[in-house]
Amino acid sequence: MMIDDTENNEFTELLSGYAAPVEDDGFSAHVLTQAQTPRNTAQKTVLVKSIMVGGAALLAALIAVPQMAGLQHLISGIKLPEISINIASLSEMNFSNTAIFALLAAMLIGLASSFWISEDL
């Protein structure tokens, strides 16, 4: 039994004229060269991440600083048991001022380290 391939032949003949690329005045070549050239996105990405993480840390610091007075008031209300230590340097320090200083130092260290960590993201 023989299969009639006339429809397939007509279709192949119809598409034979479309094998050549369409004239586009070099547009396709231009698009391909632009797509293949690597762009300097790594530096831009690091910069954007650094700005975002640093900005978030700065915003957090700006929100936290006005709360320090309330935190000092809260810490000053805490009653701790009396412990007698005869070290002169500890008796001169005030607990609330020391705590505030430690919190401010931790906040500054956190702010500085957030810029440093953002470079590795």
- Determine the pLDDT at residue 80: 72
Report the candidate in 109, 89, 113, 91 with the shortest Cα–Cα distance to residue 101: 109
Q: Judge whether 33 lies within some domain.
A: no
Residue with tokens 């900005």: 55
Number of domains making up the chain: 1
| Residue scoring higher pLDDT (56 or 1) | 56
* Position 104 in a domain: yes
Domain assignment present for residue 49? The answer is: yes
Is residue 114 one of the residues assigned to a domain?
A: yes
Per the structure, the complete domain to which residue 57 belongs is given by 39-78+90-121
Domain membership of residue 117 (yes or no) is yes
Query: 18 lies in a domain?
Result: no
CA angle 87, 78, 80 (to 5 degrees): 40
**Domain-located, residue 112:** yes
Q: Give per-residue pLDDT as tens, 47-98.
A: 888 889 888 888 988 898 888 888 888 888 878 777 666 566 555 666 677 7
